[in-house]
Amino acid sequence: MIRIHFDLLWTIIADTLYHQFAKDLRGFDKCRAQTIFNRFVNIPGRIEYDGKGFTVKIRKRATTPILLGVKKLNREIQVPWLRNKPLRIIWTA
């Protein structure tokens, strides 16, 4: 019984996070979580760590202009659970 409730809890948390992310995506605020995952989350990339911070390199796709419109993704992000090390996203060809 506890396992069922735990699975339900994580499903609700994930759905809420996708919904919050979709609010920042112009034209995708009414989409389902699966659509957001397929178009914006499940994309190839590379993570590099130089000892000072993290760089995420993501290849440009058709939906890149929408992601570039999200102000939060266009600046360095301080990640609390990584000792406040900076994370930045770079779009590659």
pLDDT for 5 equals 86
Residues of the chain with pLDDT under 50: none
pLDDT for 76 equals 95
**Domains along the sequence of the chain with CATH:** 1-42 (no CATH), 44-93 (3.30.70)
Which residues have a Cβ under 8 Å from the Cβ of 53 and sit 6 or more positions away? 76, 85, 86, 87, 88
Report yes or no: 59 and 93 within 8 Å, Cβ to Cβ. Answer: yes
